[in-house]
Amino acid sequence: MEVKEFEVWWKIPFKHSAGLHATKFFEGLKDGKILGVRCERCGRVLVPPRAFCERCHAETSEWVEVSDEGVIETLTVTYMKFTGLPDPPYAVGVVKLDGADTGMLCFLGGIDLSDWRKVHETFKPGTRVKAVWREKREGKITDIEYFRPVQ
Please give the residue ranges that form the binding site for Zn ion (CB under 5 A): 39, 41-42, 53, 55-56
DSSP class of 143: G
Other C-beta atoms closer than 10 Å to the C-beta of 21 total 20
Alpha helices in the chain (DSSP H): 19-30, 116-122
- Distance in Å, CB of 20 to Zn ion, minimum: 19
Choose between 35 and 91: whose C-beta lies nearer to Zn ion.
35
Choose between 20 and 42: whose C-beta lies nearer to Zn ion.
42
Angle at 22 between CA 33 and CA 11, to 5 degrees: 120
d(CA 66, CA 38): 11
- Distance in Å, CB of 101 to Zn ion, minimum: 9
Choose between 41 and 118: whose C-beta lies nearer to Zn ion.
41
- Distance in Å, CB of 51 to Zn ion, minimum: 12
